[in-house]
A and B are shown apart, each in its own frame.
Chain A
Amino acid sequence: MEKKIKVCVKNLNVYYGEKQALFDVCMDINQNEITALIGPSGCGKSTFLRCLNRMNDVIDICKVEGSIKIDGEDIYNDEVRVEKLRERVGMVFQKPNPFPKSIFENVAYGPRIHGLAKDKNELEEIVYSSLKKAAIFDEVKDRLDETGTSLSGGQQQRLCIARAISVNPDVILMDEPCSALDPIATAKIEALMEELKKEYTIIIVTHSMQQAARVSSKTGFFHLGNLIEVNDTETIFSTPANEKTLEYVTGRFG
């Protein structure tokens, strides 16, 4: 069965001031799959991820060239409203960053600003279903009024995932979502990603090659701002085409 391409990146060049961070990156990302991005620190994988929901717009000196199409629409087109784009492309960050509000308000934040709920009941429904999808509902259902920051690290990260899916995005970007978590919380989040890919397209940046191997169907390897290789995860980890990729995935460099 032919997979549907969700995100299509062509000749992406990114500059921070004088310094070029990404060189001619081309990559297709399939719908309802998990795509992992690996590579040593500073190789541009986070920069690439942040281009996909235009989070780099916040940085004044950052300049983006090339085209990124999501469902065939160029997201750097002048007519695209960045707020609408981010409604479709959610993001989960490296460090859990729940707002210092109640658990309920954390998840209700997105639906509120985008006006997704007609009334209070509908809002509650969205919040509950998001929490359920993020596999945290049972743990917090009795304490929705407590502040989100009172949860443990793993719970906070799942709360952030619930927050990201509350606006029902198409794509979820995850920037090293497990690097601040212990192995048990990591396992929970990985299981959750497995569930989520049925509905969403997930792109995850990770430093853990085991994690990439465990969760993703496709893996891209970045090095010094270049996308060296992108292929099925199995191929990347067993018989990569590029010498550098082989060295990296076998742990001989990086």
Chain B
Amino acid sequence: MGLILLLLFISYALGSFYLGYSKSRKVRVLNEGRPISLDKYYGYYIAIWSVVPAIIIFSVISIFDGFFIKNYVLSDLYSLGIDSSEVELLFTQIENTRNGIKLFNSEDVLIVNAVSKLNYIENVFNVSLVIIILCSSSLFLLFSYRKIKIDFDAREIVEKFLLITFFVCSLVAILVTIGIIFSLLYETIRFFSQVPIFDFLFGTNWSPQRAFVTDASDTADIENAFGAIPLFSGTFLIAFIAMCVSIPIGLLTAIYMSEYAKSNVRNTAKPIIEILAGIPTVVYGFFAVITIAPFIRSMGGSIGLDVSSESALAAGLVMGIMIIPFVSSLSDDVISSVPQSLREGSYAMGATKSETIKKVIIPAALPGIIGSFLLAVSRAIGETMIVVMAAGLVANLTANPLEASTTITTQIVVILIGDQEFDSPKTMSAFALGLTLFVMTLILNFIALRVVKKYTEKYE
């Protein structure tokens, strides 16, 4: 059914394009002259007018019809005095019954009545929708067809339409971002109405399960269960270990690639390094659990250290490896973009290659290199899968990288896996964590972009 409609729709659009095209041809013959725009623009012009308003009307009606249908179906039931919290459930039951799913109350008179009402109103809506769309579409088609004259500039209007389309597309990304922020904000505010923000940001004990298990009326207990400090410390500990791995390796790789490597080495090695960035993080997780963690454990054991099988160190090391290509390829670009004239200036002073790199190139590229570090840090903070697999789930307030640890993202996953009550503080804490993380990475990205921007003005 849907496919046939789609085909109809496309052939309708094509047909209206042809209408415009042939009208333009006719105009050409009648007036013995050339219309202002090319023939195809008249085709596009009519196709746009016959299709786009129809799509807009259809989407607007589909967004709001659910609301009207529900109100209509439930209008009798409201008068019977239904609790508003049960409305959702009841409506779902009505819909299920209509779809042929037998429920305990399917035989109920109220439900049966409601189902017939639902069927009726949906039919009315569908039929009227088709009529409205057909009428409006043909009206617009007729209107635009009549407008085609020899001096009518269809190209300008088509290009204006394209301009609007581009604008709407760019708006989508922005609106989605704003939407995400608001949905996070809404749940976070709800969470903070139950748990004080101060306790969340500065509490040292994270055990949301406890808040779930114990009596919710015991508010002191809830407050104590949502201290996010162990998560922050775990996040920073693991990110720190990751940066300790990725910054030196990545930076030295970048220097070698951009300054020393011959072009054939560079052309083979660079893509291989960048493959690292393409490996799914779950695979890195395997690597951490199966290879790195036992290795660290046995290493620690041999020098008498007690290493838990899940450790921040294992997760951090593997995360660092994952981030190497971010640091190396960004720094490589930055170092390569240092003007050749600076290198020559330094060589001409009698500096060796390594002196030139240390004293001229790195200082000149430093802001950009720092920018790449900051982007890598925000990547490390946002990474989840490796930590879930390799660092454990225990919120442990410790600076010891050999113990199990956990991060903000990992806890969000843990909290939201499985069936949850959506109004318990435990579930909502995930949104608060998400917002905190979002703000943190936003600040980091902001700083990184500012630093990088400052760098671009540097040589002029």
Is A114's beta carbon under 8 Å from chain B?
Answer: yes
On whether A93 and B349 interact (CB within 8 A), knowing A100-B364, A149-B460, the answer reads no
Is B360's beta carbon under 8 Å from chain A?
Answer: yes
Comparing A9-17, A23-31, A160-168, A227-235, the segment that makes contact with chain B is A160-168
Residues of B within 8 A of A95 (CB): 341
Q: Are B460 and A83 in contact (CB under 8 A)?
A: no
Is A97's beta carbon under 8 Å from chain B?
Answer: yes
Residues of A within 8 A of B104 (CB): none
Residues of B within 8 A of A101 (CB): 363
Is A3's beta carbon under 8 Å from chain B?
Answer: no
Is B422's beta carbon under 8 Å from chain A?
Answer: no
Q: Are B348 and A149 in contact (CB under 8 A)?
A: no
Q: Are A109 and B347 in contact (CB under 8 A)?
A: no
Partner of A55, one of B347, B360, B458, B460: B347
Is B352's beta carbon under 8 Å from chain A?
Answer: yes
Q: Are A149 and B459 in contact (CB under 8 A)?
A: yes
On whether A55 and B344 interact (CB within 8 A), knowing A97-B339, A100-B458, the answer reads yes
Comparing A84-92, A120-128, A183-191, A213-221, the segment that makes contact with chain B is A84-92
Q: Are B363 and A163 in contact (CB under 8 A)?
A: no
Complex-state Cα separation, A22 to B239, whole angstroms = 57
Which of A58, A82, A97 has the largest number of chain B CB atoms within 10 A?
Answer: A97
Which of A53, A58, A99, A110 has the largest number of chain B CB atoms within 10 A?
Answer: A99
Measured CB to CB, the closest approach of chain B to A57, in angstroms, equals: 9
Q: Type the 1/0 row for A147-167, where 1 means its CB is closer than 8 Å to any CB of B.
A: 001000000000010011001
Complex-state Cα separation, A109 to B360, whole angstroms = 9
Residues of B within 8 A of A91 (CB): 348
How many B residues, CB 8 Å from partner? 21
Interface of chain B residues 319 through 369 with chain A (CB within 8 A) = 339, 341-352, 355, 359-360, 363-364
Interface of chain A residues 12 through 49 with chain B (CB within 8 A) = none
Q: Are B351 and A149 in contact (CB under 8 A)?
A: no
Measured CB to CB, the closest approach of chain A to B158, in angstroms, equals: 47
Partner of A99, one of B342, B352, B460: B342
Which of B339, B345, B346, B460 has the largest number of chain A CB atoms within 10 A?
Answer: B345
Chain B interface helix/strand/loop/mixed: helix
Interface of chain A residues 49 through 63 with chain B (CB within 8 A) = 53, 55, 58
Complex-state Cα separation, A164 to B346, whole angstroms = 10
Residues of A within 8 A of B350 (CB): 82-87, 110, 113-114, 167
Measured CB to CB, the closest approach of chain B to A160, in angstroms, equals: 7
On whether A160 and B364 interact (CB within 8 A), knowing A83-B351, A84-B350, A167-B350, the answer reads no
Residues of B within 8 A of A100 (CB): 342, 363-364, 458-459
Complex-state Cα separation, A121 to B383, whole angstroms = 52
Residues of A within 8 A of B346 (CB): 99, 109
On whether A97 and B341 interact (CB within 8 A), knowing A109-B359, A113-B355, A149-B460, the answer reads yes
Complex-state Cα separation, A80 to B360, whole angstroms = 24
Q: Are B364 and A110 in contact (CB under 8 A)?
A: no
Q: Are B342 and A97 in contact (CB under 8 A)?
A: yes
On whether A86 and B347 interact (CB within 8 A), knowing A97-B339, A113-B355, the answer reads yes
Q: Which 7 interchain pairs have the tightest Cβ spacing?
A: A86-B350, A91-B348, A97-B341, A87-B350, A97-B345, A83-B350, A110-B349
Show 18 A/B contacts (Cβ-Cβ < 8 Å), sorted by A.
A55-B347, A58-B347, A83-B352, A86-B348, A86-B349, A87-B349, A87-B350, A97-B339, A97-B345, A100-B458, A100-B459, A101-B363, A109-B359, A110-B349, A149-B459, A160-B345, A167-B349, A167-B350
Q: Which residues on B are within 8 Å of A, measured CB to CB?
A: 339, 341-352, 355, 359-360, 363-364, 458-460
Beyond A55-B347, A100-B459, list 11 extra A-B contacts (CB 8 Å): A55-B344, A58-B343, A58-B347, A86-B350, A87-B349, A93-B341, A93-B348, A99-B342, A100-B342, A113-B359, A163-B349
